[in-house]
Structure 1
């Protein structure tokens, strides 16, 4: 019941507070990329503050985020990491589906922030455009973040990487940093959210230029490292075990 109340309060304040922030983003974009990046970080910090104070959820980073320009590839189980990684990775450019770029005003705003479009059709024309946009991002010195499984994934599932990752890996020609995340247990798509710690595990850097299958295999294994280890009990489950005289680890 307590978690359900916390979830209701969080969602109410987050979505009400997000409306003016999102509506103001196109205005910020008029003043250039730095302006829209700073504005996007305000939204991410607002989300971080609410999720800590209301839900009692905090991040833990295992390993160090490397300095420099990289292609960050993350597991995706909740909306949480899409905003938290924006802060942890120092505002990387985003990889977006072409459909999102067609949304009036919003598509232009994300383009001003810094984005690279992935076309699901993976045609030769789309690949050439990706190579062009990738070269522009490299010239800017921006890192890029992508959720290579394509969408948020339920806890325990390890789907293969989408085909677009191979084109992105080739187009950017950047070292890859995989990130495992276990946010789904605390932040399910439906139902109550729970207090606890979300782990971000920074994997070993993977060099550019590897054969496709090798690169995909190494990335897939790294972003699913926490899935293979299983999930720690929730705080409520720990309390219940202690009350029953059990031992939790």
Structure 2
């Protein structure tokens, strides 16, 4: 039954997503806010499809700040990359270049305001990421990063990539770690199963802390659901 649900979800979600993404140029004619609103329509459709077809619901724990913030989230599945777009009111999301290079979707992501970064973490790539994040902050948007650098399975706790520390130091925004356990119902391989995905907002970490302190606090809070 899980495989049937998964296949139906993939057919429904991707077949409807294609025209939604393809129509982004129309929204782009009306400015950045229209593109963000367009993306929110897509992510709310994703929420509907995961709930109705897969039986996945979300639970929110903790409280997020009302002002723009720098969010650092655990990454176990595609689920949170879409869910957090709506949940955080359209944040500028740090995105690996491989995704930004996908035809059409990559253009739409850039138009949305995704912050593109190379995996090699070279000095030039880091400077570019910081420039784009600073520009997004200036427009009043929150910034979202998955600081472990890639999707991991439940129980894996890799160290944070250097990009987190660079943005934490540059942005000087209140930093909010988010724990997420989506990998339990949305594994890397195999069918997706029904259940509840928890997003736990940790305590706000103020700007200006030493790098080691900020990283330790974020890493611990991101993995709090697995403690």
Asked if TM exceeds 0.5, the reply is yes
Residue 179 of structure 2 corresponds to 180
The higher radius of gyration belongs to 1
Deviation by residue 1:75-99 (Cα, 9 ceiling, x = unmatched)? 0111111111111111111112244
Conserved 8 A contact 1:73-1:178 = yes
Whether 1:54 and 2:53 are equivalent positions in the alignment is yes
**Structure 1 residues 54 and 105: alpha-carbon distance in aligned structure 2, compared to 1, 3 A threshold:** closer
SS at match of 1:216: helix
Written as runs of structure 1 = structure 2, the 5 A alignment for 1:149-228 is 149-228=148-227
Q: Distance in 1 between matches of 2:158 and 2:66?
A: 29
Q: Distance in 1 between matches of 2:126 and 2:165?
A: 10
How far residue 104 of structure 1 moved from its aligned partner, in angstroms, is 5.2
SS at match of 2:54: coil
Conserved 8 A contact 2:21-2:108 = no
**Structure 1 residues 173 and 120: alpha-carbon distance in aligned structure 2, compared to 1, 3 A threshold:** farther
Unpaired stretches in structure 1, ≥5 consecutive residues: 229-249
**RMSD over equivalenced CA pairs, Å:** 1.8
> With CA pairs under 8 Å and 6+ residues apart, which has the higher RCO, 1 or 2?
2
Residue 6 of structure 1 corresponds to 5
Q: Distance in 1 between matches of 2:173 and 2:12?
A: 39
Conserved 8 A contact 1:26-1:106 = no
**Structure 1 residues 31 and 164: alpha-carbon distance in aligned structure 2, compared to 1, 3 A threshold:** same
Q: Distance in 1 between matches of 2:38 and 2:25?
A: 10
**Structure 1 residues 66 and 191: alpha-carbon distance in aligned structure 2, compared to 1, 3 A threshold:** same
Q: Distance in 1 between matches of 2:123 and 2:148?
A: 22
**Structure 1 residues 185 and 99: alpha-carbon distance in aligned structure 2, compared to 1, 3 A threshold:** closer
TM-score, structure 2 length as denominator?
A: 0.92
Q: Distance in 2 between matches of 1:86 and 1:27?
A: 20
Q: Distance in 2 between matches of 1:174 and 1:82?
A: 21
SS at match of 2:94: strand
Q: Which runs of 4+ in 1 moved over 6 A?
A: none
Written as runs of structure 1 = structure 2, the 5 A alignment for 1:1-249 is 2-103=1-102, 105-228=104-227
SS at match of 1:54: helix
Conserved 8 A contact 1:62-1:201 = yes
**Structure 1 residues 195 and 127: alpha-carbon distance in aligned structure 2, compared to 1, 3 A threshold:** closer
Unpaired stretches in structure 2, ≥5 consecutive residues: none
TM-score, structure 1 length as denominator?
A: 0.84
SS at match of 1:95: strand
Conserved 8 A contact 1:32-1:112 = no
* Alignment coverage as a number of residue pairs: 227
- Residues 46-55 or 122-131, more deviating: 122-131
Conserved 8 A contact 2:21-2:104 = no
Conserved 8 A contact 1:130-1:171 = no
